[in-house]
Amino acid sequence: MDEKLLRLNQKVAIITGAGSSGPGIGTGKAISILFARHGCKVVLVDNNEDRVKETLGYILADGHDAISVTGDVTSNSDCKRIVDTTISEYGRLDTLINNVGILAPGNVVTLKETDYDKVMNVNLKSMVLVSKHAIPKMIESGGGSIVNMSSFLGLRSGSIFESVPYSVSKGAIIALTTTMAAEHGREGVRV
């Protein structure tokens, strides 16, 4: 087997948004399936039980190791439960893929405040909360890796559609990622 494919073998990863809604296979589902095919034990997280169970079914049918956890990644207690379940099931945590994201329309004049708050909570706060519980467990396991999914719209907002909440959240994810990298890199956590 290609040496690059072995880097995930026997690692444990949490992947948020693993149910992936919308047309096609979706980013979270695709990441989950590929990680499993490369030997990673995956913890599939989504707020929609049917969608996450569908992803779990694909992975188990291929003979790979995975569990699913339904939860709200904007809830601190759910994020703790997700990480605790991972440790209980697999004894370690090596990788976190913060992949959850939603979109709401509007510029600063037309957006709804409730839409803005929801997008910021789902897209940004979720990453903070899951990471809050994941990082200490990664450190206990000897280090790890976190991938925070952003978008080019965090740098070039307004280039495709008007969505201030989405663009602002994705720009904030870039700042969050560089800050986390600086603060936790010396502890063996690559972000």
CA–CA separation, 69 vs 81, rounded Å?
A: 9
Length of the chain as a residue count = 191
148 contacts: CB under 8 Å, gap ≥ 6: 98, 127, 173, 176, 177, 180, 191
Active site residue 58: no
* Amino acid symbol at 6: L
Residues 60 and 66: beta-carbon distance below 8 Å: yes
Residue located via tokens 């307004």: 158
Tell me which residue of 117, 133, 134 sits closest to 169, measured CA to CA.
117
- 164-184 and 126-140 helices cross at what angle (nearest 10)? 20
Catalytic residues: 166
